[in-house]
Amino acid sequence: MHHTQAARRRAAWPEDMDDNRMGDFLHACRAALRPHDVGMPSHGTRRVAGLRREEVAVLAGVNADYYTRLEQGRERNPSPQVIDALSHALHLEEDARAHLYRLAGATPGDRLSPHSTGRVSPALRQLMDGYPNTPAFVMNRTLDHNSETRTDSATSPQRVS
pLDDT at residue 65 in the model: 97
Cα→Cα distances 150→71, 117, 123, 133, 156, Å: 45, 21, 17, 8, 10
pLDDT at residue 41 in the model: 85
If pLDDT is split at 50, 70 and 90, which confidence band does 22 have? very high
Q: Please determine, for residue 23, whether its predicted confidence score (pLDDT) is greater than 90.
A: yes
Domains of the chain, residue spans: 2-111, 118-155
The percent of residues in the chain predicted with pLDDT above 70, rounded, is: 70
Q: Please determine, for residue 118, whether its predicted confidence score (pLDDT) is greater than 70.
A: no
Lowest mean pLDDT among 77-81, 88-92, 154-158: 154-158
Q: Contact at 8 Å (CB) between 60 and 89?
A: yes
If pLDDT is split at 50, 70 and 90, which confidence band does 154 have? low
pLDDT at residue 15 in the model: 47
pLDDT greater at residue 145 or residue 5: 145
Q: Contact at 8 Å (CB) between 149 and 136?
A: yes
Find the mean pLDDT for residues 84-90. 95
CATH C-level class of 2-111: mainly alpha
Q: What is the pTM of this model?
A: 0.59
User: Residues near 69 by Cβ (< 8 Å), separated by ≥ 6?
Assistant: 75
3-state SS, residue 84:
helix
CB atoms under 10 Å from CB of 72, counted, come to 13
What is the rounded average pLDDT for all residues in the chain? 79
- DSSP code of residue 156: S
